[in-house]
A and B are shown apart, each in its own frame.
Chain A
């Protein structure tokens, strides 16, 4: 049981780090670009919001399979095929949780507006300098929300994992799969412990986020 809890935390942590590294530049570009096709990219990023996780998992399975060009490249990079491995889960989770991280960060960047960056430019800050020293600190509430939502959403995912991860203990058997497994095999006690744990976890996440967000906004207001 604890194996799947630990695996879930590991998956969510790795995914969140990647989400912040990948999602922040995407969010910045979506918030600031004036090109007409930015909304098309924004829609692609947002797709997992409405797409059934099994659909996403299905396409990922096809794309990552060693028979596809992308999958064979990934296989030789990681030394093993991605489907039914932890690395495969990370790829799936990042794509699946991307909109949950990108949207709040994009909103935060948009809320900052043009002015602080113009001020920074008139104070000799290059665009990169202004991004690092002005935009990122001012977007802290959005970055935090994005990280927490990305993390929590990864902890709770089921469909994508089932499609591309399967049910390998210690490798791909995450919490939600474990609960499903316990119920299937009528191990109610274990299912109860994990389910109640998730309930408490979700409650705490949202509560903590609201409190921290409020405090940050008061400081920045």
Chain B
């Protein structure tokens, strides 16, 4: 399948970067890392706003940078959402939305204005001027403006970072809806793990101008060698399909690779996808088979794939759901003593006792 192929090497001031990654032409790929690691620079290289001294960029077969070839930003079919909305102050909301729409090439991007206006809830704002909008409203307009320019790729540079908590909560559902209804591949720069867990399918983990790891989000957060699993609030992300709802106990059953999880509440329609989050410290272990007398609803058969000490007295036990090789990742955080008492080893079957499962939002 054709994809986004990016490789950039260069310097910006005293900062040097050397980055290479691929991303598929669908879904959300997060460029994740601490502030100052070069995420924004890479995003600007993708847009052509910054020209890396050396690099290659091909998107869906079109080469935008290679050797001396460099396509100017206005000739690239990208949509860019900056950290600050950066609306044109002299144009109304409608004028801002139409700016890119009028200039796009007709053949690409069938995204229709009414659809985008509806998706982002902009109907009531069209005649307003940017100065009169709230921060969240402005960013919604900026996202709509980028979408209407008919992008083949959407580049988002921490679009929520400059917003307060309430505005963030207001925009996140819109971003999720976009991913579901418009099939535009998105590169999403962020240093906020909660945002990434909620929105991204894949992740490129950056560290001081280099790529530390890249791959599906669910694999990276459960990788024993990466820092995520070692944090106090380590968690795994599991995508599953809603299978059934029990109205009497108000519990939803979600089918995930290798097992079924029970989640409290009615979390969606049967057949839809949901993303679940399980915190490592909410997962305990015991020997198979699953114990009979327990209040824990989610007692899941797993296979242990790795075990690593965390700090002085705890262990991370890395598991795959079910007994096959493709089960969802799970991390259990137990004491070192418990691990020794259990006498389990890598490769063994065990039962994960999951105390709580939450949606990523």
- Interfacial residues, chain A to chain B (CB-CB below 8 A): 115-116, 118-127, 129-130, 133-134, 137-138, 140, 219-221
Contacts and interface: CB of A to CB of B under 8 A. Distances in A.
Contact of A122 (B78, B84, B105): B78
A136 to B, nearest CB: 10
B74 interface: yes
Contacts of A123: 74, 99-100, 103, 145-146, 149
Given A219-B129, A221-B131, A122 B89 contact: no
Contacts of A137: 90
A116 B86 contact: yes
B296 to A, nearest CB: 50
A119 B96 CA distance: 11
Contacts of B86: 115-116, 119
Nearest to A133: B99
21 contacts: A115-B82, A115-B84, A118-B82, A120-B74, A122-B78, A123-B99, A123-B103, A124-B100, A124-B103, A124-B104, A124-B149, A125-B74, A129-B74, A129-B103, A137-B90, A138-B88, A138-B89, A219-B129, A219-B131, A220-B90, A221-B131
B79 interface: yes
Contacts of A221: 89, 131
B64 interface: no
Contacts of A120: 74, 88, 99
Given A116-B86, A134-B88, A138-B89, A122 B47 contact: yes
B80 interface: yes
B342 interface: no
A137 B89 CA distance: 9
Among A121, A124, A129, A130, find the residue whose CB has the most chain B CB atoms closer than 10 A: A124
Interface in B44-94: 47-49, 72-75, 78-80, 82, 84, 86, 88-90
Interface string B15-58: 00000000000000000000000000000000111000000000
Contacts of B73: 118, 121-122
A193 to B, nearest CB: 42
Contacts of A138: 88-90
Contacts of A122: 47, 49, 73-74, 78-80, 100, 146, 149
Nearest to A123: B100
A129 B99 CA distance: 11
Among B47, B88, B145, find the residue whose CB has the most chain A CB atoms closer than 10 A: B88
A127 B75 CA distance: 11
3 tightest Cβ-Cβ pairs between the two chains A and B: A123-B100, A124-B103, A122-B80
Given A115-B82, A134-B88, A121 B99 contact: no
Given A115-B82, A123-B146, A124-B75, 20 more contacts: A115-B86, A116-B86, A116-B88, A118-B49, A118-B82, A119-B88, A120-B74, A121-B72, A121-B74, A122-B49, A122-B100, A122-B146, A123-B99, A124-B104, A124-B149, A125-B74, A133-B99, A219-B131, A220-B90, A220-B131
Nearest to B79: A122
A119 B86 CA distance: 7
A123 B80 CA distance: 8
Contacts of B80: 118-119, 122
Contacts of B100: 122-124
Interface string B169-207: 000000000000000000000000000000000000000
